[in-house]
Structure 1
Amino acid sequence: MTTKANAPVTAGSIVVPYGHVIGNEKWRGSELAQRLQGKVRLIFEDALGLVDFHLSNRTCILLISEADLVAGDEFKRRLVRFRNASSLRGIVIVEKTPISDQYYPGVQKLVVLELGMVLLPVANQGEASQLIIQLVREQSRDRGSNPFLGKQRARPAEPALLQALQHIPGVGKTKALLLLQRFGSIHRLCNADIRELEQAVGQTVAQQIYTFLHS
C-alpha cells in the first residue's frame, strides 16, 4: 500500500510558481531551509512524498545526506521509486564528505548510469542551498529572457557550483570556470552534447563529463 510518506510526486499534481521552491515539511527548521529563506520564496508542503524540493519547471530535487549514505540502502530505494513512478526531471544532490566518500562511487553508478539522473555532489547543506538557489535563478532567467536583447552580461560563478563541478573526474578549477563561461548554467551543461563539451575542455575531459552526467 502506498502512503503519503513514500508516494512520489506525479506530473501536474503540484504547480510551483516561478521563483518559488516547495520544500518537504521534513526540512522545516533545518540549516538548509534557513539558508534558502530570503533568497528564494520557500513554501513547505507535507505531501511531496519522495521529493525534498520541487522547482517550477517540472524539476525535483532529491537530497541524499551524509546520514542517508551511512545508514544503508533506503535512499537507493527512494531514488528508484521516484524514477520509476514519476515523469518529472530529477536532480540528485548528495553530501560527499570524508565520512561518506567511500559510498559515493556506488551512488554515482546508480544515479547517473542506471537511473539517468543528474548528480551534483556538495560538501554540506550550505553548498546544497547555493545550488538550489542557482537552479531557481536559472529558471527565472530562462523564462524572462528576451532573444532580441542579445547576449546578457555574464554573471559571477557561484562558488558552490564551481566546487560541485570540480567533483567531476578530470575537472579542476580552471576547467570548471571554462564550463560555466561556455554554458552559463547547470541546465545547459547537462543538456550539452559531446561535441559542445569538447570545444570547451577537449576530447578526453569532455568524455569524462558526458559519462558522468548521462547514462
Structure 2
Amino acid sequence: NPETRGLCPSREIGEIWVSSEANVQAHTPSISPLVVEADPAPANSIRDINASRFNATTVVTGDRTNNSSSNSNVASTSITGASNISHGDIKSSEITYVRTGEIGFLWSYANENFNGGRAMSLLFVLGSIGETFEVNGLIHFPMDVEATIEKAHPNIAPSGSIVFQIDQVVVCVIQVRQPDSTIVNLTLSVMHQVLDKHQFMPDVIAIVGEDVLAKNRYGEKQRGKMLSLFMSAKM
C-alpha cells in the first residue's frame, strides 16, 4: 500500500516495490557541465527522495497470511506474519526496496503442467501511479477512458481525446472530424459510454477541432500540457 507501506494480499492493487542487488541506491543531480538542471533540488530534498523512494521499508501491522506485492520474487511466497519475510537472515524490517511508482497486483496461480504443479504468484503491472486519477473511490487510467470515448461516436477523430483531472473535476477534451450538428448527440453518447464502462460522469466535455490536442512529434498525447492550456484558457 503506497500510503500505509503495509503489505498487500493477493489480488489487492498496490505499488510494486523491488528489492534486488541491481537496485540503485540513490538519486544524484547531474554534475556534468553539459547537463543543466532547470531547478536543481536542494540537498535536503534529495536526501528525502532517496530515503522515501530508493530505501523504502515496509510497515508491519500484525500477523496475516498473504502474498506480498513488495516481494522481489514473482514466485509465490507464503507469509505468516509480515515480520517473517526474509532475504537469507535479514528480517523484513531491514530489507530496503526501490519504489517503482508502478501499480499492480499478484494473482495466485497453479497449473499441473507448469512449475511442477506448485502454486505461484503472477505479477500484473497496470501502469504508473502518476497517470491515474480517482473518482468515487475508484482508480482510473486516462488511456482507458480515452479508448472508450474514441469508440463512442464516428465523428470523433482517431486518438482524438485527452482526459485529465483538476481538483476532482474530470475534463474530457475531444477532437471531432467535422463540427456539425452531431455535437449534441456525440456529447450524450460519450457521457453514456463513460458512465456505463467506468461508473462516473465527466464534469467537463470540451469539443475542439484539428491541431488543438497537445501531442509530441511521435503523436503521443501530452496530458500535462493539455491541462496547462485548459487552466490558462488558451486551448
Report the TM-score, using the length of structure 2 for normalisation. 0.24
Bigger fraction of residues in strand: 2
Higher helix share: 1
- TM-score, normalised to structure 1's length? 0.25
* Higher radius of gyration, 1 or 2: 2
